[in-house]
Amino acid sequence: MKKLNYIWIAVFVILWTSCNQKNNTDREQKQSPIQLEEKTGNTVSENSEDKFLISNHSAGYFKIGGSWQNYAEKEYSYKSVQGYGTCVDACCDGGFQLGYKIVEDSYGPKIENVQITIGAVNFDQNEKSESKYKDNPEVFYASSDNCKGWYWKDKINYIVVYSELFKTKEGIGVGTTLEEMQEKFGELHFYVGWIEEDINALQVSIKSYPDIKFILDIDAYKGNWEEIGFMEDKNEITVSDFKENSKIQRLIIRQIDKS
């Protein structure tokens, strides 16, 4: 009889242990990535489904005003080359090109097939300050014909997206056609800047994303592209003025100053 009791006790202990382990596993699965990281010591992404999500203030884990270097290396396996962000009329601000491969040309190292450009935050535009912060490893000096200044290496001012992987929650991004954008968002607004000096002169904007400019190739325009630079009312431009299935070439995320 005692032997039978021992058997039942052993069975109970096994069942109780199994249930307890299952409950602990369920609780761990419900914990946030940060909680699991603290408990196990493993590196866990903030939220994997946000990795390529474009919003008004971010492209994946790259957020306006935030840092980028750690995310570029650990989350995207990007390499980077320090240089310029964007250039207009020989005025180039400081920035970094991000992608998977660094190659050399006559001008030095560059990224082959750039995925993202990070526009760095400027903090000193004094043209005579070229050596002022040279001992600070967290900053760099960028100089072009019409612009000079010091920038933070790891702080984002704006983001230029070239990769087709990054999309808004509606599926809009590089490679999306104007027809697809119009179908999803309705009215599109076109802006034409200084075409001769600005590669990002032809822009599309939508109400849902006021801080994002979707960039078109000038050659997508059906007529003489030189004419649109002199149009008094740019609101007259519509999707029908562009070649069929004209695609977004890149997009720029830059927080609008609402003050």
Residue with tokens 């270097």: 69
63-106 residue pLDDT tens: 999 999 999 999 999 999 999 999 999 999 999 999 999 999 88
Distance from C-alpha of 184 to C-alpha of 167, rounded to nearest angstrom? 13
- Going by C-beta distance under 8 Å and a sequence separation of 6 or more, which residues neighbour residue 105? none
172-225 residue pLDDT tens: 999 999 999 999 999 899 998 888 889 999 999 999 999 999 999 999 999 887
104-163 residue pLDDT tens: 988 899 999 999 999 999 999 877 788 999 999 999 999 999 999 999 999 999 999 999
pLDDT of residue 13: 45
What band does 27 get if pLDDT is binned at 50, 70 and 90? Answer: very low
Predicted confidence (pLDDT) at residue 32 exceeds the cutoff of 60: no
pLDDT of residue 163: 98
pLDDT of residue 258: 59
pLDDT of residue 162: 98
pLDDT of residue 31: 40
Predicted confidence (pLDDT) at residue 50 exceeds the cutoff of 60: yes
Predicted confidence (pLDDT) at residue 167 exceeds the cutoff of 90: yes
